[in-house]
Amino acid sequence: MYSEKLRSLPPYLFASIDELKREKLNAGIDLIDLGVGDPDMPTPSNVIDALCEAARDPKNHRYPSYEGMIEFREAIVEWYKRRFGVSLDPEKEAMTLIGSKEGIAHIPFAFLDEGDVALIPDPAYTVYRIGCILAGGRPVEMPLLEENGFKPDLEMIDEKTRKEAKIIFINYPNNPTAATAEKEFYKEVIDFAAENEIIVCNDNAYSEIYYDGQKPPSFLEVKNAKEVGAEFNSLSKIYNMTGWRIGFLVGNEDIIKGLGMVKANIDSGASNAVQIAGIEALRGDQTCVESNRRTYKERRDSLLKGIEYLGLKADKPKATFYVWARVPEEYDSMKFTKLLLDKAGIVVTPGVGFGRYGEGYVRFSLTEKVERIEEGVRRIEALNL
């Protein structure tokens, strides 16, 4: 019944964990959920007010434009200038997306023909790989190893693969490893892409979730980036807006045009009311962004202190709301995840769910209140690992 493409998708690894989680919930167990990549804090009220007002205006009840409202694209471009010092043309170098996941999943349809290669990181957000497979492309993994700071080693990509590759996905600050990238790394990627005629897509969804004032750069800050690439970003994590579905792509005009052609045939754009809320988010009061950072920092420090004391190894993240921790040697990531869930009522994500190079790690999300994180640490302590 299902297409070969659908059947060829990597197996859903979380089924047994979902099942165990359901069992625990049904049994009334108080679960501490550090498994989801979804902010637990609400969208700021000025943004909701703008959304409600826009929803009442009949002008916004009709089909939106494919590429997004020009006012929203102007707000993105202003924000990129203010935050990164990057200049963009709102008409040609910015496009609204129905959440960045939508754009990430669709972009392979614009640039991959049957059998063309997409270079994807491993471990990674699963959408790069699956979008590529659904478009008929062939994903080739670039291992992200701890000894390389969870950056791909481009020199390891052989000549044949370089020739077959049409697109390379990178994602810094990184989900799930929480690694960040400096401009030198982006420069390497740009040179590699220019030499091999490969399109670069950086996913910068966590650009604003950073700690200790260490602001992650945009890929587009680096010289010649716009010749070869584009960057996905999203209001989801910055403004706690995952439920509204609003993101964007900025950068190379032809890349944006390509994704636009695909989307014009698939969807009819993001709702105007949500884009108007997005304008308020980008241009209005930014207090929530700083306050999110403070909240995640408190949680990060609390979790790290706890798990390090217990002998788990994890780097202190400079960005993202994840902690990527090594599991104790006698476990693999799935076994350890099940142990935490079964014996401590703590939900984490097994690293292997992000790709085979994620084996040996689990991802903690900082999406529960600090008291709950402390309670989680106490429960792990009681396991006497």
Interface ranges with ligand PLP (CB under 6 A): 37, 99-101, 125, 171, 175, 203, 205, 234, 236-237, 242, 247
Instruction: Write down the least CB distance from residue 121 to ligand PLP, Å.
Output: 10
Half-sphere exposure of 354 toward its Cβ, with a 13 Å CA cutoff? 27
Using alpha carbons, list the distances in angstroms from residue 294 to 37, 42, 349, 365, 377. Answer: 18, 15, 24, 15, 20
Contact 54, 71 (CB under 8 A): no
111 versus 354: smaller Cβ distance to ligand PLP: 354
- Matching residue, tokens 């045939």: 265
Taking the complex as a whole, how short is the minimal distance between the CB of residue 163 and ligand PLP, in angstroms? 28
Cβ proximity to ligand PLP: between 171 and 271 the closer is 171
Cα–Cα distance, 189 to 64 (Å, whole number): 35
The distance of closest approach from Cβ of residue 249 to ligand PLP in the complex, given in angstroms and rounded to an integer, is 11
CB of 237 to ligand PLP, least distance (A): 6
Query: Nearer to ligand PLP by C-beta: 177 or 196?
Result: 177
Q: How far is CA 66 from CA 96, 256, 261, 270, 380, in A?
A: 8, 12, 9, 8, 49
Residue 186 tokens read as 């982006």
Which residue, 109 or 380, is less far from ligand PLP as judged by CB? 109
The residue among 47 and 344 lying less far from ligand PLP, judged by its C-beta, is 47
**Nearest alpha-carbon partner for 2 in 134, 100, 169, 145:** 134
DSSP notation for 104-121: HHHHHHHH--TT-EEEEE
CB of 252 to ligand PLP, least distance (A): 19
CA-CA distance, 137 to 4, in Å (whole number)? 13
Residue 330 near residue 224, CB atoms below 8 Å:
no
Closer residue to ligand PLP (CB): 37 or 376: 37
Cα–Cα dist 117/165, whole Å: 4
Torsion of CA 270, 272, 276, 279, to 10 degrees: 40
CB of residue 130 to ligand PLP, shortest distance in Å: 13
Nearest-angstrom CA–CA distance, 170 and 120: 7
| 196 vs 293 by CB, closer to ligand PLP | 293
Min dist CB 232 to ligand PLP, Å, is: 7
CB of 101 to ligand PLP, least distance (A): 3
CB of 103 to ligand PLP, least distance (A): 8
202, β-bridge pairs? 170, 231
If the CB atoms of residues 100 and 271 are measured against ligand PLP, the closer one turns out to be 100
- If the CB atoms of residues 175 and 271 are measured against ligand PLP, the closer one turns out to be 175
Of 194, 201, 203, 205, whose CA–CA distance to 252 is shortest? 201
Query: Largest Cα–Cα distance of the chain, in whole Å?
Result: 61
